[in-house]
Amino acid sequence: MRYALFALLLLATPALAATSLSLGGLLEFVVYLVIVGLIFWCIWWFIGYVGIPEPFGKVVRVVVGLVALVLVINLLLGLAGSPMFRLR
């Protein structure tokens, strides 16, 4: 198992170098994605737990979903080198 992971790392290194992504950048991407996903999941759960009346609850869920989608698209564009906006 250890040798297979090492071989995969050796094979993936030239591909990562060709796309100018570093392992640290990908690790930061995954951590950021997990944190943002956890935050939006907690917001989504809280909206259902509070029990906002139906027309307003659906509107709030759609807005939360759109904000999450824009953040993920911005994060993916940041990996490509040109994000829509900076969060830091």
Instruction: State the chain's mean pLDDT as an integer.
Output: 79
**Count of structural domains within the chain:** 1
Q: Is the pLDDT of residue 18 over 80?
A: no
The CA distance from 1 to 44, in Å, is: 39
The pTM of this model reads 0.63
Structural domain containing residue 41: 21-88
Over residues 61-72, the pLDDT tens digits come to 999 999 999 988
In a domain, 5, yes or no: no
Over residues 50-62, the pLDDT tens digits come to 988 888 989 999 9
In a domain, 33, yes or no: yes
The CA distance from 22 to 43, in Å, is: 32
pLDDT at 20: 62
In a domain, 1, yes or no: no
pLDDT at 29: 81
- Joined together, the tokens standing for residue 81 give 């080198």
